[in-house]
Amino acid sequence: MAWVIFLLVLGVMGALVWASASIRSGVYLKALCEARTEERKVALTFDDGPDEEMTPRVLALLRRYRAQATFFVVGDKVRQHPELVQRILADGHTLGNHTLSHNPLATLYSVSRYHDELFWGGDVVERLTGRRMRLFRPPFGVTNPPIARAVKALGLTCIGWSVRSLDTTRLGRERVLRRIEKGLKPGAVVLLHDRLPESDRLLEEVLKLLERENYKAVTVDELFAIEAYEK
């Protein structure tokens, strides 16, 4: 009997972990992860920037291939590199909220503290650009009840992904590219990062892939036909 109880407890714990760790679960907070469309459009999204070295290279490549993207920026990094945020907007890309500090412990925050992370992360960008971001992506894709309440209180739209590239792991560029190719389809949202040593090299391979497969890279707000900023 004890082992049955143990298995039940283990199953419940596993379900709770999945609900929190999977951005696609939608248990605590609904996220837009994939658009329903037959058009050959996909959204390339970049987390954790802006980065002094890699973001300019990423922007140059996007410009060369005439591709649009969405950058989920960290407020503290925006303060350090405001000129890069201006360049992102000037090139026609979209900005999203990725919290103020991207603290790994933020999943343990209270509702009010996470609310502050979101509010002040957005405030940094608003003071710089005059735009209040409506799009949000949780760091590490983790959600829970306090995060959900904070997001809803601020009226933000949570953006997930359908293709997790795993570019932050040790898979290597070729294997990451194969993951992206495998998940590529109309309406896909691809998770990338513009802070990694080979962000630009991976992106160029992705852009070549999209070109070969006749896909157009658009911003998240265009893909889902939603507003990126408060009016």
> Each residue of 81-103: pLDDT tens digit?
999 999 999 999 999 999 999 99
- What global pTM score does this model have? 0.92
- Please count the CA atoms within 13 angstroms of the CA of 225 that sit on its side-chain side: 3
Rounded Cα distance between 19 and 79, Å, is 33
What pLDDT digit, counting tens, does each position of 102-123 carry? 999 999 999 999 999 999 999 9
Residue 81: active-site member: no
Q: Which three-class secondary structure string do you get for 113-170?
A: HHHHHHHHHHHHHHHHHCCCECEECCHHHCCCHHHHHHHHHCCCEEECCCEECCCCCC
Look up the CATH number of the domain holding residue 152: 3.20.20.370
| Residue 195 located in a structural domain | yes
Whole-number Å distance between alpha carbons of 79 and 139: 18
Determine the 3-state secondary structure of 100 from DSSP: coil
98 is catalytic: no
At 12, is the pLDDT very low, low, confident or very high (cuts 50, 70, 90)?
A: very low
Domain count, the chain: 1
Position 173 in a domain: yes
Instruction: Answer yes or no: is 229 within a domain.
Output: no
* Residue among 47, 48, 194, 221 flagged as catalytic: 47
Annotated catalytic residue, options 98, 102, 115, 193: 193
* Tens-digit pLDDT profile for residues 126-153: 999 999 999 999 999 989 999 999 999 9
In a domain, 171, yes or no: yes
In a domain, 189, yes or no: yes
pLDDT at residue 4, rounded to an integer? 43
Residue 231 lies in a domain: no
- Nearest to 105, CA basis, from 146, 65, 64: 146
- In a domain? residue 140: yes
Q: Residue 97: beta bridge partners?
A: 73, 136
Q: Does 230 fall in a domain?
A: no
Specify burial of residue 45 (Cβ count, 10 A radius: 0-12, 13-18, 19+): buried
